[in-house]
A and B are shown apart, each in its own frame.
Chain A
Amino acid sequence: MSEAHSTPLQHHFTSLEQQKDAATLGMWAFLVQEVLFFGGMFTAYTVYRNQHYSVFEACSHHLDWKLGAFNTAVLIGSSLTMALAVHAAALGKGRAAALWLAATIGLGSIFLGVKVVEYHEKWEHQLIPGLRWGPAEEVGPALHLSGADVDRAQLYFSLYFGMTGLHALHMIIGIPILAWLAWRAWAGHFTTEYSTPVEMTGLYWHFVDIVWIFLFPLLYLIGHH
């Protein structure tokens, strides 16, 4: 780490602007890769949902859409506080940036807490494929499914845990980074000419928000009509 240099401009860049443009482009190259990383799971979802349309709708009913909607609002709120943290850091207001980052961590933690409640409920109802999947005579009536459809329900819940789990993992990785940035912001490391780490982490956090924006309707809200 080379943050301790007196000038934030590293020797291989000609200007701070060029340095920031390079960082932004690099971050987007990473995020585009992330789009395709999650994209593989969204493609799997599309394939299996089209094959087992009614099974997916029946399974979706077993999720609590109110908790999903609450978490959507929490995550959108955390994107707002993240945007305000980036804003404050760019203006050199380190303390304000640190507080907004702390708010982002708080909202992110609430989201993960709700996720724990939801996962625990799936554990109780034995709806975790490969780990704790109940016998067909119990799972079938719980999901209003019968015959081979009970086994097919494992497809939906595998995708549910795979997609929301990967999403949650991104938040678990993001929160310590936010904490590190909050500390640096509070210590006055960011100025009007250099706040790139906050801005790049903001891009990451907003990306995670976007993933959830798609997950919420596709997992929680199908089959409500």
Chain B
Amino acid sequence: MSSGGSHHVVSVWAYLGVFLALMAFTGITVWAAGQDFGVYNTAVAVGIAVAKATMVVLIFMHVKWGTKLTQLFVVAGVVFLLILIAITMSDYISRPWPIMQ
């Protein structure tokens, strides 16, 4: 696919495919929540949500066919979100104080 294709028109079938995949993943996330994966239940749930969000961003939001600069903005947003959560949690998890009780 060419980059900077502002006038790219995506096939309706691509949208329907993403819609069906999103519905299927919703079913899978409900099923997975009922399974006991130990401490990994949340990781599985977030992983499925990330997969769903990626499909929405790439196809529904046309980022797959967007300019390189737009794609960079999207990735930057995700990176800064991860920085926000990771550095906050690195502080809380490493505190020896009774605050964690």
Contact = CB atoms under 8 A, between A and B. Distances in A.
- A and B are interacting partners: yes
Interface in A191-219: 199, 202-203, 206-207, 209-210, 213-214, 216-218
Chain A: interface size category: 35 or more
B100 A72 contact: no
B30 interface: yes
B77 A32 contact: yes
Interface string A80-113: 1011100100110000000000000000000000
A213 B23 CA distance: 11
Mostly, the A contact residues are helix
Contacts of B92: 47, 50-51
Contact of B6 (A21, A39, A72, A217): A21
Contacts, number: 146
Interface residues of B, number: 54
Interface string B47-63: 01100110011011110
B94 interface: no
B68 to A, nearest CB: 11
**Considering the complex of A and B, which 3 residue pairs feature the smallest CB-CB distances, nearest first?**
A32-B77, A221-B33, A217-B45
